[in-house]
Amino acid sequence: MKLSAFFAILSATSALGARVPGANSKITYDGYKAFRIHTGENEALVKSKVATLKETINFNMDTAEHLDVVVPPKEVEAFVALGLDSVVIHEDLGADIRAEGDFAPYESAASAAVPSITWFNSYHAYADHVTWFRDIQAAFPGNSALFSAGTSVQGRDIFGIHLWGSGGKGSKPAVYFHGTVHAREWISAKVVEYITYQLVTGYSTDSAVKAILDKYDFYIIPFVNPDGFVYSQTTNRLWRKNRQTRSGVSCVGTDINRNWPYKWELTNGASTDPCAETYKGRAAGDTAELQGVVNFTKSLAAGKGIKLYIDWHSYGNYILTPYGYSCSARPANNARQLELARNLNTKIQAVSGTRHTVGGACSTLYATIGDSTDYLTDVSKAEFAWTIELRPGSSASNGFVLPVAQILPSGQEQWEGMKWLIANM
C-alpha cells in the first residue's frame, strides 16, 4: 500500500479509534463498502472531498492514480453525493472478510510427513500456522531447524525456520525473509510459507532447488508481528501495527516498519502521533518485537553475512529497492539492484501476468524512516534488501482482503521469481 501523504491517514486513524471494540468484540465491517477513486490530476481535490467524511478509512496512500477508501454504511450516501469517479472494490467488506475468515481446519501431518498442498487453499488461524511450521520442519529434519528471534509484546514467540543445504547448518550467506510485519497483510505469511514448502519438498527432487539451498542458508520469519496478526483475526481485520501500549496514551500500537534503529530520528516518513498508523514509537527500536529481531539480524550479519533480505508486505505489486529515508540517496550497487529487480518482475510476470512496479522505495512509493530495508542495507550490509508488496495490484478489485483463490497463484508467481533471483544474484 502506498502511503504518500501520512496526514491523510489521521482521519482514518481516528475513524478506527472511534470503533475500538470492547474486549473480545469483533468489528464486522458489515455493510461497509470500499471504493477505488480515480485521482490523477485531481489528487488533492479528491482527498479533500473524502476528508469531509468523518469515518472513512483510507486503505492506501498510493494516491497518484487512485485512492482506496472504506466507507461505513452511514456515510455511503454522502460519499456517493461527492460525485467522485470511483468503482466499488468491496460491495460489502464484512461479507468479504467473513468469506476469507472461513478457515479450513488444519490436520497436522503425520510424523515426518510433508503437509498437504491444500494448506494454500485457505487462510488459517495463528495456532495452525505454528503447527504447520513444526510439521514442515519435521518433514526436513536433517536440513532445517526452528529458531526464535525474540518475543512479542504479548509474549508470543517470534519464531522462524532455518533451512540449509549440503554445506551444513549456517555455512553459507543468508537469504532472510520477514512476513507479517503489518498485521492485516495476511498474504505475506502464505507466500513465505509457499516458498518454504517448495524449498523443503524440492530439495531432493529438483536440482535447481538443491542448487539454491546448497548455496545459501535461508532464515524465514513468517510473523514478525504475531500479536497484531492474532488481533486482526479476532477483533479488527484492518489492524496494522503491533499491540504495544504506552503510558499516558490511549491508542495502541507502533508501526514496526517505522521503528528500526536507523534514520529513525528523521522527521519525514513516520508519525510521532501514537494514534497514527505509521507511529514510530518513542525511541528507535523500542518495540518489543524489534528488540529480538534486530539482535537476530545482527547475528546473521556477523555470521556469514546477508546476501538477500526481503520484507514481504501487501498490497500494490511493487518491488522496492533502497532507500526509504531519502528519495535521492542510492546504494552503491544500485544499477545491479535495479537490473535484478526488473528481471525478477519479468520472471514473476511470466507465471500468470502479474506486473510489479520496480524502483527505489521512497522515489517510487513514499518516504519511510526507521524501515527495515534501510537498516538491512546500511547497518547489516545486506547486498540486496527489498520490500515486495504482494497482490492485489492496482487493477484488482480488492485490498488487504485478498480472496483465498489468490493465495496459491501469489505463492506460485513469487516462488518462480525467487528461484530465478536466488540462482542469479
Q: Which residues bind ligand 0X9 (CB under 6 A)?
A: 1, 3, 182, 185, 257, 313, 320, 324, 361-362, 365-368, 371, 387, 389
CA-CA distance, 165 to 212, in Å (whole number)?
A: 8
Residue 75 CA, chain-centre distance (Å), reads 30
* Cβ contact 229:126 at 8 Å: yes
Binding site for Zn ion (CB under 5 A): 182, 185, 313
- Secondary-structure percent of the chain, ordered helix, strand, coil, rounded to 5: 40, 15, 45
CA-CA distance, 197 to 141, in Å (whole number)?
A: 14
Smallest gap, in angstroms, from Cβ of residue 176 to Zn ion?
Answer: 17
Picking from 302, 406, 322, 403, the residue whose alpha carbon sits closest to that of residue 368 is: 322
339 noted as active-site residue: no
Q: Partners of 70 in the beta sheet?
A: 34, 57
Total Cβ atoms within 10 A of residue 295: 12
Instruction: Given the residues 277, 389, 413, 416, select the one marked as catalytic.
Output: 389
The residue among 185 and 413 lying less far from Zn ion, judged by its C-beta, is: 185
The residue among 52 and 272 lying less far from ligand 0X9, judged by its C-beta, is: 272
CA-CA distance, 394 to 344, in Å (whole number)?
A: 19
Q: State how far the alpha carbon of 326 is from the alpha carbons of 364, 376, 378, 382, in Å.
A: 11, 15, 13, 18
Listed in sequence order, the residues at least 6 apart from 83 whose beta carbon sits closer than 8 Å to its beta carbon are none
Smallest gap, in angstroms, from Cβ of residue 60 to ligand 0X9?
Answer: 7
387 binds, among ligand 0X9, Zn ion, none (CB under 5 to 8 A by kind): ligand 0X9
Smallest gap, in angstroms, from Cβ of residue 110 to ligand 0X9?
Answer: 37
Backbone dihedral angles phi then psi of residue 140, each to the nearest 5 degrees: -140, 55
Grid coordinates representing 17? 479509534
Smallest gap, in angstroms, from Cβ of residue 374 to ligand 0X9?
Answer: 8
Smallest gap, in angstroms, from Cβ of residue 156 to Zn ion?
Answer: 19
163 binds, among ligand 0X9, Zn ion, none (CB under 5 to 8 A by kind): none
Smallest gap, in angstroms, from Cβ of residue 79 to ligand 0X9?
Answer: 23
* Cβ contact 337:374 at 8 Å: no
Q: 3-state DSSP call for residue 234?
A: helix
Burial class (CB in 10 A: 0-12, 13-18, 19+), 274: buried
The residue among 115 and 324 lying less far from ligand 0X9, judged by its C-beta, is: 324
Listed in sequence order, the residues at least 6 apart from 179 whose beta carbon sits closer than 8 Å to its beta carbon are 188, 189, 191, 192, 220, 221, 222, 223, 224, 312
CA-CA distance, 170 to 162, in Å (whole number)?
A: 9
259 binds, among ligand 0X9, Zn ion, none (CB under 5 to 8 A by kind): none
Smallest gap, in angstroms, from Cβ of residue 185 to Zn ion?
Answer: 5
CA-CA distance, 222 to 365, in Å (whole number)?
A: 24
**Residues with active-site annotation:** 389
